[in-house]
Chain A
Amino acid sequence: MKTMVSSVSKKHKISNLLVYILLIFICVVWLMPFVYLIFQAFRGESRGMVSYILPKEWSLANFKILFNETNFVNWYLNTVIIALFTAFFQTVIVLSVSYTLSRLRFRGRRLLMNMILVLEMFPGFLSMIAVYFILKLIGFTGPGSVPGLILVYIGSSGMGYYVAKGFFDTIPRSLDEAARIDGASRARVFYKIILPMAKPIIIYTVMMAFIAPWGDYMFASLITFGYEEAYNVAVGLFTFLDREHINNYFTVFCAGGLLVALPITVLFMMLQKYYVEGVTGGAVKG
C-alpha cells in the first residue's frame, strides 16, 4: 500500500517538474523581446541595430533625440487626443447599438444584424480608400488628420457590438419588465437600471476603444499620408525602421516604443480583470 501511494505521488512530482520547466521556458521566450526592447532603448554606444543584447554603455541619449530631433511629441499628442475622443464616442455608439439589439425588439432587427455580418466580410481597408477621398474633400486628411482619424475610428464602430451585446443578454429580462411596470420608459430603463449594472462591460469597451488607435498602422498611414506632423505613433515609429533611417534611429525607435508601451501596458494590467471578463464572456459566446 505504502509503496503504491509514494510511486503515484513520485510520478506526479516528476510530471509537475516537467510542466514547471516548460512553463518557465515559455515565459522566458515570451518576455525576451521586451527585455531586448528595454536594453536597446538605453543603449549608448551606437544607434544602429546590433546583433548582441546587452548594451556596452547605458545612456539616455536616445530619449533626448526622440524629444528634440524628431516629431515624436507631436505624434504622441496626436494619438492621445485621437484615443480620448475615440474612447468616448465609440463607447457611446457601441453601447447604444448593443443595448438596442439585445433588449429592444423591432421590425428589421434580424435583417440589421445579418446586414452588418455581411458588411464585415469586406476587408475594412477597402472602404477606407473611398473614405479617404471623402475626408480629403472636407479637409480632414493630411494636416487635418486628427479629426479625420477620429471619424474613421468611430464612424463604423457600431458594427462591433458583439461582446457588449453578449453581456447585455445575460441580464434577465424580468428586470426590464419590472421597471416598465413601475412606470419607466425604455430610455429610463436603459439609464437607470441597465447601465449602472453594466460597469464591467463599459470599462471593457472604453479600454478597447482607447487602446486601438495607438496600434493602428493601416488606416492612419492612409489618412495621414505625406504629412509627418500628423502621424500617429505607429506610423511615426515605423519610419524609424525603414532603410533610410534604421542605422541612426534603431535605438531611438526602441526608446519611442518603450514610451508608447509603458502607459498602455500599465493601463491594461490595471484593468486586466475587465479585459478577461470581456474576452471570455463575449468572444466565446459568440
Chain B
Amino acid sequence: MLNRDLLEFYKLNGLQKAFYKILWFITAIPKTTVNLFKKIFYSVKGFILKTFSVFRNIVRIFKEGDIYTRISYFIMGFGQFFRKQPLRGILFLVFQLVFTLYMLLFGVNHIGKLDNLGDVAAVTVINEYGLEVIEYKDNSLQILLYGVLTLFFCLGFIYTWYVNVKQNWVAQNLIAKGSKPKNAVEDIHSLADEQYHKTLLTLPLAGILVFTVIPLLFMVLVAFTNYDYTHLPPSKLFTWVGLDNFKSLLGVQVADGKFAFTFGEILVWTLIWAFFATFTNYFLGILVAMLINKKGIRFKKGFRTLLIFTIAVPQFVSLLLISKMLADDGAINGILFQLGLIKENIKWLTDPILARVTVILVNIWLGIPYTMLIATGILINIPADLYESARIDGASGIKRFTKITMPYMLFVTGPYLLTTFVGNINNFNVIYLLTGGAPKTTDFTGGAGYTDLLITWLYKLTLTDNDYKMAAVIGIMTFVVVAGISLVVYNLSPSVKNEESFQ
C-alpha cells in the first residue's frame, strides 16, 4: 500500500474502515487458498525430488564404490568388517539374516494373502473321536495385521540396507582422504555425544512407531475393507471393498443415505461445538481473570485457588456427577423446584436442542478455571506502562481492553486457540460422560445422538456395533477436517495479521 493510500485510509470514519477490513479479509481468502495449494505442490515436488536423489545416490555409490562397498550391496556389513568396524558389520549381517529367514518362512506367506485377506475362514471337520469340530483356517484380522507388520519390517529393512550402503560410502571416502572410520569403542562413546540424539530418541520413536504409526496404517487399511459385526473373524472373513465405505459415508451412489445424513449432521455439530467450547471458555476465562486481577480486589490468591480446585478433581468424577445432577429428576431440577422457580422439570439433557446448550454450559464450568489461569499469567505480564500511557491519552476502560489487552492476548495465545479448537473436536470425555451422546434418535444410524461428536460416534461404532470399517472411515474424515482447518488457520493468520498492523 502506498503511503498516500494509507493516509486516505486514516481519514475514513469507523464504519468505512470496518468495511475495508472486511473486504481485505474476504479477498485474502482466495489468495491464501492459492498460496496453500502452491505450498502443498512444492512440498510434494520436494519430496519426489528427494526420492529421486536417493535412487540416484544408490546408482552412483555403486558405480564409484570400491570392491568392499559393492559387495556390501548384497552382503550387508561386508565393507564394515574389512574397514575395522566389526561390530557394525556383525549387526548388519545378523539383521540381514534374520530378515531373510523371516521373509522365507513367514513373510512371503503373509504378504501373499493380502490380496483378498483369506479364502476360507473355517471348516467343519470330523475329528478323531467322530465329533464335529470347527477348524479355523484363514483369519482376516491376523492376515491384515501380520501383513502390515511384515510390510513395515520390509520398509525397515530397505532403510537399514540404505544406511549400510551409505556408511560404506562414507567410510571409503574417509580412508581415501587418510583418516580412519570410527572403531567400536569410539562408536559407543559417540552414542553419548555426537549421536546422543539417537540414544535418547530410540525408545520413544519405537514406541510411537508401534503404538501410533503402525496401528494408524492398519486402521486406514481397514477403512477399505468390510470389517464389521457381520464379518467377524475367526468364523467369518472380511475383504477389500475399495471406496465403498467412503461412498456410503458421503452419500454417493448408495441406496440408504442414512449414514451420510448422520455423518453430515454430526460433523456440523462437532464444528459448532468446538467453536463455542473454545471461544466461550476463552473469553469468559479472560473476564474472570480480569475480575480477580482488578485493583482493589482482595483474596486474589484465595479465589484463584478455589477455582483451581475444580481442575484438581478428576474430570470423570465431576462429569458423571453433573450428568446425574442434570437428569430430569436430578438435584438441579429439585432445587429449582423447591425455590419455586420452575413448575416442570427442565429437560437439561433430554431435549435435543437444550442438551446441546447444556453441554456447552457444563464445558464452561469445566474449562474456565483453566483458561482463567492462562489469562492471568498473560495479564500479569502485560507491561503496566502500556495501560498508564493509555490512561493519560484518555482511553476509557473499554477502549483499553479492546486496544491493549485483547490484541496482546490474541497474539500470545494464537497457537493455543488452534490447539484447543482441535482438541475440542476430539473432546471425548465431556460429551460421552455427560450425555453418552444422547438424546438418541432413529434419524441417525450407529446409535448416534444429538450431542455426539465424530469421536464419540466412532467409539460407539467400535464398542457397541463392532463396525470397525465405518469407525476407520470416520477417523480418517476427522483427520481430514482437522488437517484442513489447521492448514487454513496457519496460512490465514500471517496475512490477517498484516491488516491488523494498521491498528
Contact = CB atoms under 8 A, between A and B. Distances in A.
Chain A directly contacts chain B within the complex, with at least one CB pair under 8 Å: yes
Interface of A: 12, 16, 19-20, 22-23, 26-27, 29-31, 33-34, 36-37, 49-53, 93, 96-97, 99-100, 104, 106, 116, 118-119, 121-131, 133-134, 137, 151-152, 154-159, 185-188, 190, 211, 214-215, 217-218, 221-222, 225, 234, 237-238, 241, 246, 250, 253-254, 257, 260-261, 264-265, 268-269, 272, 275-276, 279-281, 283-284, 286
A55 B87 CA distance: 73
Interface in B209-263: 210-216, 218-219, 222
B320 to A, nearest CB: 6
Contacts of B376: 280
Interface string B406-432: 000000111110010010001011001
Nearest to A188: B192
A130 B482 CA distance: 21
A137 B454 CA distance: 28
Contacts of A253: 320
B402 interface: no
B313 interface: yes
A127 B211 contact: yes
Which of B307, B317, B330 gathers most chain A CB within 10 Å? B317
Contact of A265 (B292, B313, B327, B458): B313
Which of A33, A116, A119, A246 gathers most chain B CB within 10 Å? A33
12 contacts: A27-B303, A30-B307, A49-B331, A104-B196, A118-B483, A155-B210, A185-B193, A186-B192, A186-B193, A257-B317, A269-B305, A269-B308
Contacts of B323: 241
A155 B374 contact: no
B306 A36 contact: no
A17 to B, nearest CB: 10
Contacts of A158: 204-205, 207-208
B53 interface: no
A241 B211 contact: no
Nearest to A27: B306
A245 B378 CA distance: 46
Given A37-B321, A265-B309, A159 B330 contact: no
A253 to B, nearest CB: 7
A16 B294 contact: yes
A125 to B, nearest CB: 6
Interface residues of B, number: 98
Given A52-B338, A121-B483, A133-B141, A222 B462 contact: yes
A125 B207 contact: no
Interface string B292-326: 10101100000101111111111111101111110
Given A27-B303, A51-B334, A187-B193, A218 B429 contact: yes
A254 B313 CA distance: 13
Nearest to B292: A23
A181 to B, nearest CB: 14
B112 interface: no
A25 B315 CA distance: 22
A168 B243 CA distance: 46
B147 interface: no
Contacts of B486: 121
Given A31-B309, A280-B374, A93 B212 contact: no
Contact of A218 (B141, B422, B428): B428
B309 A269 contact: yes
A154 B413 CA distance: 28
Interface of B: 141, 145, 189, 192-194, 196-197, 199-201, 203-205, 207-208, 210-216, 218-219, 222, 288, 291-292, 294, 296-297, 303, 305-318, 320-325, 327, 329-331, 333-335, 337-338, 365, 368-370, 373-374, 376-378, 412-416, 419, 422, 426, 428-429, 432-433, 454-455, 458-459, 462-463, 468, 471-472, 475, 478-479, 482-483, 486
Nearest to A16: B296
Given A155-B212, A185-B192, A217-B429, A123 B320 contact: no
Contact of B459 (A100, A125, A190, A215): A125
A254 B475 contact: no
Contacts of A129: 215, 219, 462, 468, 471-472
A125 B455 contact: yes
Contacts of B189: 185
Given A33-B325, A127-B215, 14 more contacts: A19-B297, A23-B297, A23-B303, A29-B365, A51-B329, A97-B200, A119-B208, A129-B219, A130-B218, A155-B208, A257-B320, A261-B313, A279-B373, A280-B378
Contact of B316 (A34, A217, A222, A279): A217
Nearest to A217: B316
B373 A280 contact: yes
**Ordered nearest first, which 8 A-B pairs have the shortest CB separation?**
A51-B334, A155-B211, A280-B377, A158-B204, A130-B215, A126-B475, A286-B415, A268-B312
Given A23-B303, A186-B196, A217 B433 contact: yes
A51 B331 contact: yes
Nearest to B415: A286
Contact of B201 (A97, A190, A260): A97
B330 A49 contact: yes
Contact of B216 (A100, A119, A157): A119
Contacts of A187: 192-193, 196, 199
Contacts of B207: 93, 154-158
Contacts of B373: 276, 279-280
A30 B471 contact: no
Contacts of B331: 36, 49-53
A100 B317 contact: no
Given A16-B294, A284-B374, A34 B313 contact: yes
